[in-house]
Amino acid sequence: MTVLEDRIAMADTDACTQRLDDWFERLERMPVPEGFRVEIVGGNVFMTPQRNTHWQIIFHIAGAVAEKYGMDRVFSDVRIDFPGHENGFCPDVALLKDSAKPDGGGHWRHQDVEFVAEVVSRGTAANDYGPKRTAYAVAEVPVYVIADPYQGRCLVYTDPKDGDYAEPAKVDFGTDIDLTGTVVDLVLKTGAFPRD
């Protein structure tokens, strides 16, 4: 990449971040009903209610990750901008590197994300399986887990290459997810994951 191309890419990134900042500022002023989650995927705003099943699975995953790494590195529903057109995601669970620090605008950087888990909701399932999976792969998130309470299984994506993940491991609820060979280095128990 030439110096000019690098500067153009940086300007595009800064402009995208500013547009996302504007969007989120407007959304914060709106009367969003309590219990709804808001994020921007591909420039589109999605507001989804937090269902009991959804939250229980998030709680189990976040708890297991926090038990190993502490609460300071684990986040839920906190905005992180990812590569692609206006992607201001709020992952259900995200684990950041130990060295992660917010940028000058107070945002966490996608380059510091080591693990993401998304729990499927009916209205936004296509995002988790499609544009989010792609953005996480392009961002080189080492481990991405999709927990699907409608199918009663998890998909485990690891080792992104060239902007994509290979075929995922499929793990039925009730079977442990062995992530010991990854940066997460833990066994995630799914026995208590409820189904919808």
Q: Over 70: is that where the pLDDT of 11 sits? A: no
Neighbours of 37 (CB within 10 A): 17
Give me the mean pLDDT over the 16-29 stretch. 60
Long-range contacts, stretch 126-134, CB < 8 angstroms, 24+ apart: 127/41, 127/46, 131/41, 131/42, 131/84, 131/87, 132/41, 132/82, 132/89, 133/157, 133/165, 134/84, 134/163, 134/164
| pLDDT at position 19 over 80 | no
pTM of the model: 0.78
pLDDT at 127 over 60: yes
Q: What is the pLDDT of residue 123?
A: 80
CA–CA–CA angle 109, 73, 140 (5° rounding): 45
pLDDT in tens, 157-181: 999 999 999 999 999 999 999 999 9
Top-confidence residue, 185 or 38: 185
Is the pLDDT score of 132 beyond 80? yes
Q: CA 175, CA 190: separation in Å to the nearest integer?
A: 6
